[in-house]
Each structure stands twice: as structure tokens, then as C-alpha cells.
Amino acid sequence: MTAPLRLACIDSDAPPLFLLADPEKGRRGYEPAIGELIAGELGRPLEWVYLPWAQMIPAVQRGDVDGVLCGQGITEARAQQVDFTRPYAVFHEAVLVRRGDAVRSATDLRGRRVAAIAGSTNMALTQTFEGALPVPFGGDSDDVFGDMLNALRLAEVDAVVDDDVVFVPLADDPEFELAFTVRTANRWGIGVAKHRSDVLAALDGALGRLIADGRLAEAWAEWIPALDYPFGGEAKE
């Protein structure tokens, strides 16, 4: 029997990246689509392992899962803990505020409470906003994105920093609006334990084939048509 490809992620609602797991439809969204394509390319069944954000990399290091496919920007700090495949996405970072707020640039955040996930690229960006008051949200939550949005809704924080893709569904939300975007071009990859070079090679090779034959572009066009496809050519619907 072929061993399943075990990939770690959180089970929360962050479309178009991923939706809450459905008992009938399973996981849906851009990242679940990538997971399915890679597993199919490798001829292995796919198994999602749901973990809080802070527990995903330790699970990979222990060998409990084969990789993390869940919003992992390729950063120096993470690259010291795991190895990464080539990128499957490139996103910029954005700042969300309550609708009607006058924030339009980083200077407008002086003295404001700005939420971001602790230890993330978003928090690193937040810490560059001079005079802003960074508010870290713990990766031990099952729905850290939802926690940050709720804090913004309740005026416990004044802004939320995250990758632009997660704010796409909020474009017409009556409660929130996008203040500005910083073109940081964060590359996202699949994190694999450093001692499992065979797994890294397999996942990276499969992902390379998906990019080369256009299947990744098709997944992007299905789930993220509002953003430009980052790997050359056009994502065709």
C-alpha cells in the first residue's frame, strides 16, 4: 500500500488560500489544490494534518508529517529550521483597517496598534513601521487570522498586516477596507525537514512539473484570479 503524503496546515477559513474543511468536499482552496496536484503527480494519497500555526514546523522536524503547505513564506529564520521547495506563490503584504479609517501609509500608523502573527514576515514588516505599536497574535491558535480580524472589528487593534491574498475576499466587506499594500514579493514554499532530502527532491520535482505544464497556473486562475500569476505567462481560466 502506498504511503500517504502527509501535509500540515491549520484548519481555518482564509479564502482563497483555503476554506474550512468540509466533511463531504474535503479541503478546498489554492493550497489544497496544490497539495492534491502534487500528491497526484507522486501517485500518493493525500492526508492533511491539522495543527496550530506554531506546531507545524516542529511536526515536520519530528517526522510526523512530510511537509508544511500552509502560508510559509521562505524566510531566513525558517530556512534555518527546514528546507524549502521552489516557490508555489509570490505575494505582497497589505494593511487592513476598519472601513472609513484614514490610514493610507505606514506613517499614518504611528501610535496605532497593528496586529500580525508572531514570528511571521508580516510581523517583521510591522516592526519597520516607525512609531507603530506591534501586537503579536500567537501561532498556537486554531484560527489566528480570524482572531486578528475579530480584534480589528472590536477596535482592540487598529490595523492588521497579512499577505495580500487573504484580504482579497474582504474587498467589499462593510466593516473593513484595504489601507495600502507593500510590494514585498514574499515567496511561499513547502517546508521539509532538513534530514529528508529525498522528500524535498520529490516535492520540488513535482511542483516544478506543475509549473512547467501549466497546471499550477490553472489552479491560480481558479482560486486567485484577482492577483497576477507570478511565474511567467498568464494564468488561463
Burial of 25 (0-12, 13-18, 19+ CB in 10 A): exposed
In the three-class reduction of DSSP (H, G, I as helix; E, B as strand; rest coil), residue 224 is classed as coil
> What single string gives the DSSP state of each residue in 105-146?
SGGGGTT-EEEEETTSHHHHHHTTSTT-EEEEE-TTSS-HHH
Please report where in the chains the cell 491560480 appears, as a residue.
220
Quote the cell numbers at residue 237.
Answer: 481560466
* Residue 67 · residue 86 · CB < 8 Å: no
Q: Which domains does the chain have, with CATH numbers?
A: 5-88+189-223 (3.40.190.10), 90-185 (3.40.190.10)
For residues 86 and 84, give the distance between their C-alpha atoms in angstroms, rounded to a whole number.
7
Q: Is 90 left (phi over 0), alpha (psi -120 to 50) or beta?
A: beta
pLDDT at position 218: 97
Give which of 174, 175, 152 is closest to 162, Cα–Cα: 152
Predicted confidence pLDDT, tens digits, the chain (237 residues):
689 999 999 888 888 999 988 888 889 999 999 999 999 999 999 999 999 888 999 999 999 999 999 989 898 989 999 999 999 999 999 999 999 999 999 999 999 999 999 988 899 999 999 999 999 998 677 788 889 999 999 999 999 999 999 999 998 999 999 999 999 999 999 999 999 999 999 999 999 999 999 999 999 999 999 999 999 755 444
* Residue 129 · residue 109 · CB < 8 Å: yes
pLDDT at position 143: 82
